[in-house]
Chain A
Amino acid sequence: MSSSKSPSLIDAESAAEMFVAVRSVAEHSFFAVAEPQDDAAFGRLARQVRQWLVATVRLENGSIAGAISCTLGDDLARALFDAFTGRDPADPAPTTDQIHDLVGEFANMVCGAWLRRVAGAEISTLGHPVVAPAAAPGAAGDLRLLVAVDGRPLLVDLQLPDRPGRDAADRPAMRG
């Protein structure tokens, strides 16, 4: 595994590829619409969220190593669950484990779709998604994407290793 950080992975083009990955996952598997957000618009959406969930997937792909985390509100997670499984409102509510499984799979698919776009030729190794609740979104990763999925906030962070001056313990998205 390389510990070097490629600037091309945290530039605007990489962010655009990340958004395409998020949009593809949202549309194809969750029948949802993803739209990019600026800080102000995202802040308005985020203020309505009471409970957050953070799903982190570690990745290795040739020279790329790091982690991608998806941070979303519990209400979006439940909406995505219903869309993914076709749950009828009259059916029993999903368990916490089912919600975590779903959010982990969402992050897994975003990670895989992004890797295909930025490093399509090399074999990827993705870790098992780690999902944990959070009172608020954590500090931004090396690349952060602000998105609204069906009008609800989603943050996607790419964390690459060996960033000087950053304490790993201050990265809530990496806990688990």
Chain B
Amino acid sequence: MRILIVDDSSMMRALIKRVISCTNVPVEAIFEAGNGAEGLALLETHDVQLLLTDLNMPVMSGTEMLREIALHERWRGLSRVIISTDGSSARREEAADLDVQCYIEKPFSPEVLRDVLKQVAVAHRC
């Protein structure tokens, strides 16, 4: 599986990578971006199957990035997961409208992310 992690905290990206490495989900590549704009740039140039993104980020938020992704047919098969401190019901409804498959609240236990990864791997037949 090819995964893109978008979070302005390098520490959070490192934690997510560590959790991914502890699962038995086959991972071909992990890409990292510090905001939505960097994430979009990576999506333009790399074939990614799973997007794990924060919401509150400088330059371009996760919501803005997801809105842009939703406009393009070529990213229709991209699995989208939000990992954010903002777990409000309003934000969750907004995410559902942007084809987000799963919403993980920070702080999260590694098992939660592992289970999501397994579901996505099955969906993409990895």
Residues of chain A touching chain B, judged by Cβ–Cβ distance below 8 Å, are 24-25, 27-29, 61, 81, 84-86, 98, 101-102, 104-105, 108-109, 111-113, 115-116, 119-126, 128
Contact = CB atoms under 8 A, between A and B. Distances in A.
Contacts of A101: 9-11
A126 B9 CA distance: 14
Contacts of B105: 112-113, 116
Contacts of A120: 87-89
A160 B84 CA distance: 23
Nearest to B8: A128
Please classify the interface of chain A as helix (H, G, I), strand (E, B), loop, or mixed, using the class held by over half of its residues: helix
Nearest to A104: B9
Query: How many residues of B sit at the interface, in one of the four size bands?
Result: 20 to 34
Given A104-B9, A113-B85, 15 more contacts: A29-B108, A85-B11, A86-B18, A101-B9, A102-B11, A111-B85, A113-B107, A115-B85, A116-B87, A119-B88, A120-B88, A121-B88, A121-B89, A123-B88, A124-B88
Given A28-B109, A29-B107, A112 B87 contact: yes
Contacts of B15: 29, 84-85
A111 B106 CA distance: 10
